[in-house]
Amino acid sequence: MRLTRLELSGFKSFAKKSDFDFSAPITAIVGPNGSGKSNVAEAFRFVLGEQSIKSLRGKKGEDLIYTGENGRLNRAAVRVEFDNRDRTLALDFDAVVLERAVYRDGTNEYFINGSRVRLKDVTELLARAHIGASGHHIISQGEADRVLAASPRERRAMIEDALGLRIFHYKIRESEKKLAKTEENKQQVEALRRENKPHLSFLERQVAKLKKALSLREELEVRYAEYLKREERYLEAEAEAIAAAREEPERRARELSRRIAHLRAALEKQEEDDAARAEVLALEKELREVREERERLNRTLGSLEGQIAFEKRRIADEARRAQDAAHATVPMGAVETLVREADESLAALEQEEDISRARRIAAHIRGLLEKFLRTHRAARPAAPDHKPLRRLEHEYAKAERALEKVKARAAQLEARSRAAQEAMVRAHEEGRTQERELFALMQEHNEVQLTLSSLEARAAQLARDREAFKRELAEAVALLGRGAARYREVSLEDAAGEAVPLEELLAEERTAQEKRRKELERMKIRLEELGGANADEIMREYEEVKERDAFLERELKDLEASAASLRSLIEDLDRELEEKFLQGIEKISEAFHTFFTLMFGGGKASLKVVREKRRTPRTGVEEEEAMPGEDEEESELAEVGVEVAVSLPRKRVKGLMMLSGGERALTSIALIFAMSRVNPPPFLILDETDAALDEANSRRYGDMLEELAKESQLIVITHNRETMSRAGVLYGITMAADGVSRVLSVKFEEGAQFAK
Ligand code: ATP
């Protein structure tokens, strides 16, 4: 990259448009004091983006705009043009023109190749090409010493700048800003997530409950459908069963009623005509009388028999006694025996109640007495009387005939009575059969009624079950929606997934269904406890909040990832910076020594990296020059700085403090040149850096300029003849009485008149 042109218009003393062409390796700008030479150097700083007006020798932007006796301008502008064929500037143009303008109100405008850009764009573009506004390559008047006067830390910054390491700081700072922003974002995202968290967990719990409720509801739907279907089947089947079961008993009951009524009527009629009984009774009465007569006759016959026997014995005795005719004495013993036997019989007689036996006992006693008499009475000689016997026998015969008659009558009556009784029994028996039948029928009727009333109870239960079914269905629809009414569509399956046959369905115990209903109740209660209101809303909100949380989580991961990559980028940059810095320092130190010995004809010069502890935390003022990437904690550790060590030839004193003004200037120049040598800037502007040099040193300085010009374009503002002699082009700056600077190309001889 080469500097080709500089154009000033309205900048400081350059009221009119003035331009400089930099075609030679060394361009010298010469002119009397106060003509505006330094303004040219400042024009470079200005156009390259300098923000410190103070370093441009002004108080405010306005001071940079021409103000003279003839009037004042509103705008100051500087343009600088580069040959960019080597693309040092990261723009795809062979020529790059930068322009900056400032207005009286202090506003600034920046342009790159005519396009309006931001300051940042300019700064970035230049930083990448290792040039900048306050860079090491513009050494203002009296500033040569700065590199020596600076603190080790400031020196380090200058050297870094010269080594083109500013870009690292720039990148590190950018990365740190990004990192800080990332951390801030991360905290914000974390805060948002934390904020979200309780709501999300609340919703998660709600959703879990909802899901539970939903699955419970689904199960309830299935169970309800099964229950309702089974119940309806049962109700239908039960109704049919009751109707069927009723048919036979009802028919039977009707028939029984009819038959019972019939039998009752028949039995009532039977009771009315009971003539048979009367006949039987009459016959019985008559028969009783006939039998009594027969008894009487029998007794009469018995008595007659006794009398006849007695008469016969008397007759026989009388006949025997008549034959014996003698009286016999009676022994006492015989009398006592008679008395005892008679007494015994009499005692028996006294006890006897049966008249016929009593009579027989009486007859016996008489017999005893007759026997005693017959035994002991002397036979009577008179002939026995037969008349009583004949009378008795006549009576007997008469009684016998009467008995025969009575017997016949009794036999007749008995036969009739038997017949009448049999007739009556027969009639009774028929009645009893009917009664038994009636009884049996009534019993059966009762049983049938019992069956019917139990069927009645079943029917009543069925009616209640029907009501309950209706209520259950209504409740199911209210709870689960109209779908619950489509329970008929479901197919009932057993555990194996087989359809349950109807018979099995109906054969089931009623308690099973009751168990199902209770389970439904339990499920309903549980469902109610879980609640299911606003389900859609909750789900939607949950999805939203979850999605937001997931988004934030992703965001957080992204932020963490970018923070990590930023940290490692910063580490890498730090490491690279450190490496390049140390390598650069070594090279500069070598070059410094070379230039130094060249200038002083011997001696020693070197740079040393030192690490010093900071005592106080960095302040805002120091911020600009502080090593980026450091913060207060790190600054406690070590601060890298660069110290300069010199020892002059033939002199014992060492250290910068001991140097004379000229020696100091030479040392500064040696260091500046060393820095430029190691990392040659595209151009180097030296504003009266050679002011303090004597003739011999001016020559050495001139030699070094030529050496440096091989790598960098040099613009020297000088009063030094020797320096002028080394320049390819000389520009003279003049200022007339009007206070306006003018530029003109001059020859060496013309320029030399401004030399001191
Ligand atoms: P020296 O050789 O003594 O260093 P020089 O050539 O470097 O002098 P400068 O310092 O560049 O001179 O010029 C300073 C001159 O510029 C002063 O005369 C000053 O009045 C003039 N000047 C500075 N700012 C303005 C301005 N805004 N308007 C007009 N003139 C200005």
Per DSSP, the residues of 92-130 read S-SEEEEEEEEETTS-EEEEETTEEE-HHHHHHHHHHTT
Instruction: Note whether 520 and 224 are within 8 A (CB).
Output: yes
Do 629 and 570 form a contact (C-beta atoms < 8 A)?
Answer: yes
Task: Report the candidate in 702, 692, 754 with the shortest Cα–Cα distance to residue 725.
Answer: 702
> Number of C-alpha atoms within 13 angstroms, CB side, residue 339?
6
For residue 724, report the distance from its CA to the centre of ligand 1, in Å: 21
Residue 142 CB less than 6 A away from ligand 1: no
Quote the tokens at residue 516. 């199902």
Q: What are 559's two structure tokens?
A: 């932020």
Pairing assessment for the beta strands 713-717 and 683-687 based on DSSP bridges: parallel
Ligand 1 contact, 37 CB (< 6 A)? yes
pLDDT value for 70: 75
- Cα 13 to ligand 1 centroid, rounded to whole Å: 6
Contact 58 CB / ligand 1 (< 6 Å): no
10 lines ligand 1 (CB under 6 A): no
Domains of the chain and any CATH numbers? 1-137+686-756 (3.40.50.300)
How many CA atoms does the CB half-sphere of 44 hold within 13 Å? 28
Q: How far is CA 525 from the centre of its chain?
A: 20
Q: Is the CB of 756 under 6 A from ligand 1?
A: no
User: Is the CB–ligand 1 distance for residue 38 below 6 Å?
Assistant: yes
Whose alpha carbon is nearest atom 18 of ligand 1?
A: 34
- 14 C-alpha to ligand 1 centroid (Å): 9
Cα-to-centroid distance, 34 and ligand 1 (Å): 5
With a 6 Å cutoff on the Cβ, whether 217 touches ligand 1 is no
What's the 3-state SS for 260-328? HHHHHHHHHHHHHCCHHHHHHHHHHHHHHHHHHHHHHHHHHHHHHHHHHHHHHHHHHHHHHHHHHCCCC
Enumerate residues 6+ apart whose C-beta is below 8 A from 157. 625, 627
Residues 618-633: b if buried by 16+ CB within 10 A, e if exposed:
beeeeeeebbbbbeee
Ligand 1 center to 37 CA (angstroms): 7
Q: Is the CB of 59 under 6 A from ligand 1?
A: no
Q: Is 22 touching ligand 1 by the criterion CB < 6 Å? A: no
- Ligand 1 contacts CB of residue 140 (under 6 A): no
Task: Kindly give the distance from the C-alpha atom of residue 40 to the centroid of ligand 1, in angstroms, as a whole number.
Answer: 10
**Span from the CA of 144 to the centroid of ligand 1 (angstroms):** 20
Closest C-alpha to 37, from 698, 672, 731:
731
Residue 18 Cα to ligand 1 midpoint, Å, equals 15
Is the distance from the beta carbon of residue 501 to the nearest atom of ligand 1 less than 6 Å?
A: no
Judge if the beta carbon of residue 182 lies within 6 A of ligand 1: no
> Do the Cβ atoms of 685 and 138 come closer than 8 Å?
yes
- For residue 234 and ligand 1, the question of a CB distance below 6 A is answered with no
Q: Is residue 34 within 6 Å of ligand 1 at its C-beta?
A: yes
Rounded distance, CA 719 to CA 266, Å?
172
Q: How far lies 101's CA from each of 7, 95, 96, 116, 693, in Å?
A: 12, 20, 17, 11, 37
Tokens of 269: 């009629």
- The helix or strand, by DSSP H or E, that contains position 2, with its residue range, turns out to be strand 2-9
> What span, in angstroms and rounded, lies between the C-alpha atoms of 169 and 570?
10
- The two structure tokens encoding residue 347: 């005692």
Ligand 1 atom nearest to CA at 65: 27
Q: What is the Å distance from ligand 1's center to 38 Cα?
A: 7
Dihedral angle sign, alpha carbons of residues 140, 141, 145, 150: negative
CA 292 to chain centre: 117
Distance (angstroms) between ligand 1 centre and the Cα of 133 equals 20
How much distance in Å is there from the Cα of 427 to the middle of ligand 1?
Answer: 173
Residues of the chain with pLDDT under 50: 379-380, 617-636
Nearest CA, atom 13, ligand 1: 36
- Asked if 122 and 97 touch (Cβ cutoff 8 Å), the reply is no
Residue 13 Cβ contacting ligand 1 at under 6 Å = yes
Do residues 667 and 596 make contact, with C-beta atoms less than 8 angstroms apart?
yes
Which ligand 1 atom sits nearest the alpha carbon of residue 735?
18
- Quick check: helix, strand or coil at residue 691? coil
Counting ligand 1 atoms within 8 A of each CB, the residue from 8, 12, 717 with the most, and so the one to mutate, is 12
Residue nearest to atom 2 of ligand 1 (CA): 33
Tokens of 455: 């069927």
State in Å: Cα 30 to ligand 1 middle: 13
- Which residue has its alpha carbon closest to ligand 1 atom 12? 34
Nearest protein Cα to ligand 1, atom 11:
36
Centre of ligand 1 from the C-alpha of residue 81, in Å: 24
Q: What is the pTM of this model?
A: 0.56
